[in-house]
Structure formats: C-alpha cells, structure tokens
C-alpha cells in the first residue's frame, strides 16, 4: 500500500492506494485546503497515524519544477511559498518518499482512467502507440505528455505552461494582448490561462471595452459569465477558451500527440456546459497548413477527480 498526495496551489488531495491489475484502488481520501497546512511533514504524519494500516511508501505530486540536489529531490512550489524536500519528509514519515511534478503524475494516470473518467471534447482518429499530451488550467497551467518507447511510455517532466502565449491575428485578440503587455513585457501562457491570472485577462478585456472591472476573483468572473451573461466576463471566458485551445494545439504539434490530447486541472470540469467545446476545438485546429494534422487528433476532458493519485499509486516512479 502506498500513501499518495497531489499537492496543488489551492488544494491537497491525499489517499492510500494500491494497483490491482489494470485498476487502481484509492482509499482514505481527503481533500485539504492548502491554507490550513502549516507544515507538510507533521500533517502527513498525523494522517498516517490515523490510518488502520501503515503504508510502505509515499509518493507526492507537487505543482512546481522538480530539482535534484545530489541524492535529494526538492521542489519549490510555483504558486505557494513552500519548498518540499524528499529526504526531510522521509525522515519525518519513516518511509521512502518520491516526488514528481503534478502533471507528470496526471500523465502517468491517463492509461489508468476508467471509461467514465473522461468525456469527448472533439472526436478524431487516435493512433495506437502514439504520443499523448495533457495540459490543464488550475491554480497554474500544467503541461506534460507521454512518449512511446519499446517498453511502454516515457513521461515528460517540463514546464510547458510557461511558454509564450500564442494568440491569433484578429484585432480583438491583439488589442487584449497589447493591454496584457502593458502590465509585463513577457506574457506567458500561465500568465493568463489559469485561475490565478484569469482576473488579469478580465481586466485587460475591460480596458479594451472601456469598462470598469466589476469582479476581482476568477470564481466571481466565471459566475458572472455563466450565470449572469455579463459582457466583459463572457469575453474573458471566450478568449481564455480560444487561447487555451491554441496552446493545446501547439503542444499536440510539438509532441506529435496523435494518440490524443487530454485536458485536466480544476477549472474546466467546474465550468460544465459553460466550457465551449466547439470554441476550444476551433483554437486547437487553427494551425494553417497543419490544420488537417491536428484535426485527426481526439481531445478528451478528464473528469475523474483524482487522475494524479491514479498515476502515483498505479506506477513505479
């Protein structure tokens, strides 16, 4: 049995689990707000003490770049002032600890998703044994992928969410991008396409439209769009969806992800029917001479609540 924790910028999801054939069994699930976690080691130790059976090892998926310091693995979270060290945690918990990027874990979980753990955004013709790509907006913008090898898949551990934001050539898009650049010289994908920075996109839209921003948080902006048809909020979600589609299409081309593109993260499932599949697909397939190439690629929205935990428990890291 393994202890697994998916540690995001907003929420930590913890469980024990084990793999049984092609399925993963998760137990003792808890979801904890990160604002309530003062110190990770003591919190996990307390969680373990309350279990009916002690796990043999611990695997963490953390939202941040993984760095190797000699024999120690460390990660400084991108959107929280927290550094996690594997050796330090191993001493606290008295068990082996492994740390991977959160979207590395999600990638590893893709082949383990149950049939009801995803919904189709756009159909296509998946190529068996081809690369898979995954990205998704949550507190930040996670990106990863699986590349085929002779013995299965190799996972990509990168920071693709911080590439330059790619927009189309329409005047409306360029006007908003110009406003975004008034705040910072470099506009990366995560600087706009995530929950933390959705308000930045909303403020830029309001300035272009000559409106005073009425909302501050990403949650309030989404509610204003989905529940009240607020004009600037609707335009914010439109651009967010279109640009996320373009970003996903770039990733698919880069990886040759003809096996499929998966959308994960905490935002899109919460939008429900407010997530415009057609608009996202329009951005995804807007690739000029290579539009036909990406049109063959299926797109899936991950609806399983714990894909990273599946990846942590179901694989030898």
Using the predicted structure, report yes or no on whether residue 169 has a pLDDT greater than 80.
Answer: no
Task: Note the pLDDT tens digit of each residue in 9-19.
Answer: 889 999 999 99
pLDDT of residue 21: 86
pLDDT of residue 292: 96
The pTM of the full predicted model, rounded to 2 decimals, is 0.92
pLDDT of residue 198: 96
Task: Note the pLDDT tens digit of each residue in 91-147.
Answer: 999 999 999 999 999 999 999 999 899 999 999 999 999 999 999 999 899 999 999
φ/ψ (deg, to 5) at 267: -85, -55
The confidence band for 248, taking pLDDT boundaries of 50, 70 and 90, is very high
**C-alpha dihedral sign at 61, 62, 63, 65:** negative
What is the per-residue DSSP string for 165-215?
Answer: P---S-HHHHHHHHHHHHH-S--BGGGTSSTTTHHHHHHHHHHHHT-----
């Amino acid at each position: 049995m393994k202890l697994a924790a998916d540690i995001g910028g907003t929420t930590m999801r913890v469980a024990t689990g084990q793999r049984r054939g092609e399925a993963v069994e998760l137990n003792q699930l808890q979801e904890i707000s990160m604002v309530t976690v003062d110190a990770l080691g003591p919190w996990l130790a307390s969680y373990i003490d309350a279990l009916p059976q002690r796990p043999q090892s611990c695997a963490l998926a953390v939202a941040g770049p993984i760095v190797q310091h000699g024999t120690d693995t460390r990660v400084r979270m991108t959107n929280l002032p927290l550094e996690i060290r594997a050796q330090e945690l191993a001493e606290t918990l008295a068990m082996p600890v492994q740390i991977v990027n959160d979207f590395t874990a999600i990638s590893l979980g893709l082949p383990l998703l149950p049939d009801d753990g995803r919904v189709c955004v756009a159909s296509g013709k998946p190529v068996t044994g081809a690369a898979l790509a995954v990205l998704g907006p949550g507190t930040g913008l996670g990106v990863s992928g699986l590349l085929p090898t002779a013995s299965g898949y190799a996972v990509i551990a990168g920071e693709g969410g911080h590439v330059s934001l790619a927009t189309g050539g329409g005047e409306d898009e360029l006007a908003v991008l110009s406003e975004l650049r008034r705040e910072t010289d470099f506009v990366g994908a995560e600087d706009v396409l995530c929950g933390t920075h959705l308000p930045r996109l909303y403020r830029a839209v309001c300035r272009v439209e000559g409106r005073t921003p009425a909302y501050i948080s990403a949650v309030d902006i989404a509610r204003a769009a989905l529940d009240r048809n607020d004009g600037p909020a609707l335009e914010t979600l439109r651009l967010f969806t279109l640009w996320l589609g373009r970003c996903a299409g770039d990733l698919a081309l880069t990886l040759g992800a003809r096996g499929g593109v998966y959308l994960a993260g905490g935002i899109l499932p919460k939008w429900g029917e407010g997530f415009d599949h057609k608009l996202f697909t329009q951005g995804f397939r807007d690739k000029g001479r290579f539009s036909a190439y990406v049109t063959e690629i299926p797109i899936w929205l991950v609806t399983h609540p714990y894909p990273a935990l599946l990846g942590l428990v179901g694989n030898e890291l």
